[in-house]
Amino acid sequence: MRRAGLYGVPRVRPWSWQAFVLGFVVVAVSAALQAVCVVLGAKLYFAAFLPSLFVLGIVAGAPAAVFAALLTVPLVWWAFIPPFFEFTPLSSASADSINLFFLLAVLLIGLADLCRASMTIISRGGLKSSGESAATNSQ
């Protein structure tokens, strides 16, 4: 049986300083990618950040992904929501975009944490049965 995991991708311990630095780097790279999307005419403020949060959650754990999500909101508000490079009061559409980002971020980080836990369980040999399972019929 093959070992589950991301081959060639090192996993970082959650709550380590490396995980939070990786979160900061992921936000910076996503911001650069989002800037390219804005130059090309896209108006999806958080499009480049959501997939990176999921990957970060798998590689570095949920705390680093939450840190990156919290760092993303003021960055997008300042750099990508018009007027650019200013903190101005949010319109209702911009506030809705931020709320939707938070909802999707929570769901993606939770899914990434479940994937990370599943990979850990599988790499250790799977779940061990402790006697009789509730799913087996003893008749």
Two structure tokens written together for 135 = 């799913």
Annotated domain spans of the chain: 17-123
pLDDT in tens, 58-100: 999 999 999 999 999 999 999 999 888 999 999 999 999 999 9
* For residues 17-36, average pLDDT: 96
pLDDT in tens, 42-52: 888 999 999 99
- The predicted model scores a pTM of 0.83
Respond yes or no on whether the N-terminal peptide bond of residue 83 is cis (omega within 30° of 0): yes
- Which long-range contacts (C-beta less than 8 Å, at least 24 apart) are formed by 30-38? 30/72, 31/75, 31/79, 34/76, 34/80, 35/79, 35/80, 38/80
The greatest distance separating any two alpha carbons of the chain, rounded to the nearest whole angstrom, comes to 71
What is the four-CA torsion angle of 80, 86, 92, 93, rounded to 10 degrees? -10
